[in-house]
Structure 1
Amino acid sequence: MRGILEFISKIFSGVEPLYWFKSYFFSAVLMILCLTNVTDEMVGYMPAYIIICGIFFPLASIVWDDLVVNTLGGGPVLAMPIVILLLWKLLKLFLLFFLTPLLAPIGVIYIYVSNGHHREA
């Protein structure tokens, strides 16, 4: 049990607290939007899936922000009209939110390796 708690501590300490706050804020907003639109036909696994996505969303957003934008893209420089940019940001948020179970494990591995915690063991 102690090893698991140390691992979780290393993951949370590997990212700036402001980034966690920002990601959990957007995660809460998306969770509220999605959970308020759940109909009677979606009961069962859908609310549970939305809550899981909400909990692990910051790890998925790290995959996008650090690996895709900064590493592959060279930085977040976009020259386009503001309406298209806002639509793209909204689409990106929803895609990341619903793909969180696939992307969050990559985020955990990325944080663990990029902070050098794998060398300490």
Structure 2
Amino acid sequence: MTNTNKTILVIGGTGMLGKPVAQQLKADGFNVRLLARNPEKAQKLVGAGYEIVKGDVDNTAALKEAMIGVDGVHISLKGGPSDADFDRMDHIATRDIAQAAKEKNVGRVTILSAYAVSVEKADTPGEQVKA
């Protein structure tokens, strides 16, 4: 099976979890598009071979634009350290991404989160939701 005609949008593709996902997707033959607030900085972090579009998870129009023509969306966002930051990224942004993907008829949405990997976060409301 060839993946060369399939495009995956990676949101959080320059971060600790998203960058390895983007790299593996690229190695597997997918076209990889990254959503980045600063495309120039993102290009330096990930290197050549990625399509990088300017946008932010707080901008629904940018999310929808980035999803045009994609076969899937992968989410790796970093929430925290405050409860408000966690809520904004892990709840609100993830919800908005999923809704935009549904509107754009994106076939698959995946998420990878490391929010509760530390002892300090093991018994938080965020961890309880993900358990």
Normalised to the residue count of structure 1, the TM-score between the two structures is: 0.24
Which structure carries more helix by proportion? 1
Larger Rg: 1
Which structure shows the bigger proportion of residues in strand conformation?
Answer: 2
Instruction: Give the structure, 1 or 2, with the largest relative contact order (CA under 8 Å, sep 6 or more).
Output: 1
